[in-house]
């Protein structure tokens, strides 16, 4: 079976250069070129029919952009959570802190400096940009599945999903970095 790779819309008319609006109808054309199928999008005003050499064409509508998910917590709260989890020895919370550090790095709040390794494992030395304080984050050496799981838990907390539960069964909406202290101490959940 032959696979064809067609790029998604550029969101811009190839004739006028105008950006296509949400909900606007437009036309897409594919050309069969040496490098493969090449797509061009045309706004309705610039459409005069399929251009010569067109392989195929269709009419489409620009999708409505989903509003970005609003974070339930701000950067200050993320930093506070990161700092509060510094002394944790629970593997689930150490993994949680590691993924949180990756998020803070992406937001340019935390800066990676170097990797430190010894018999106890690998730690990343990082600097908090806001106050230049230095922190170490244990790299829990998670596989892809574990990273996805921890990222999903963290995402549920950051987006305010009150029903989400952490790996250890504690509530994501509970205080102390999304983990209920009673659950952490082995006490039953209320």
Q: Specify the pLDDT at position 150.
A: 85
What predicted TM-score, i.e. pTM, was given to this entire model?
0.50
Side by side, which strands form the sheet with 36-43? 36-43, 25-33, 54-61
- Start-to-end CA distance of the chain, whole Å, equals 57
Percent of the chain with pLDDT over 90: 51
pLDDT recorded at residue 132: 96
The rounded mean pLDDT for the chain is 81
pLDDT tens column, 105-114: 999 999 999 9
List, for residues 35-86, the tens digit of each pLDDT value.
888 999 999 999 999 999 999 999 999 988 777 666 567 889 889 989 999 9
Strand ranges (DSSP E) for 15-164? 25-33, 36-43, 54-61, 110-118, 121-128, 134-138
Query: For position 72, what pLDDT does the model report?
Result: 63
Q: What's the pLDDT at 183? A: 33
Q: Give the β-pairing of 25-33 and 36-43.
A: antiparallel
pLDDT of 123 strictly over 90: yes
């Amino acid at each position: 079976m032959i696979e064809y790779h067609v790029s998604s819309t550029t969101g811009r008319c190839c004739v006028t250069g105008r950006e296509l609006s949400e909900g606007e109808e437009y036309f897409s054309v594919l050309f069969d070129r040496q490098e493969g199928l090449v797509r061009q999008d045309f706004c309705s005003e610039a459409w005069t029919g399929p251009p010569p050499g067109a392989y195929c064409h269709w009419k489409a509508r620009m999708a409505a952009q989903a509003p970005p998910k609003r974070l339930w917590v701000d950067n200050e709260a993320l930093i506070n959570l990161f700092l509060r989890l510094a002394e944790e020895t629970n593997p689930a919370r150490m993994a949680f802190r590691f993924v949180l550090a990756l998020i803070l790095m992406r937001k340019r709040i935390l800066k990676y400096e170097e990797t430190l390794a010894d018999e106890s494992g690998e730690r990343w030395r990082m600097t908090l940009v806001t106050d230049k304080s230095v922190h170490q984050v244990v790299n829990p050496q998670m596989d892809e599945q574990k990273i996805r799981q921890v990222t999903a838990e963290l995402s549920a907390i950051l987006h305010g999903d009150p029903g989400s539960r952490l790996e250890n069964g504690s509530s994501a909406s509970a205080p102390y970095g999304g983990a209920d202290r009673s659950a952490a101490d082995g006490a039953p959940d209320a």
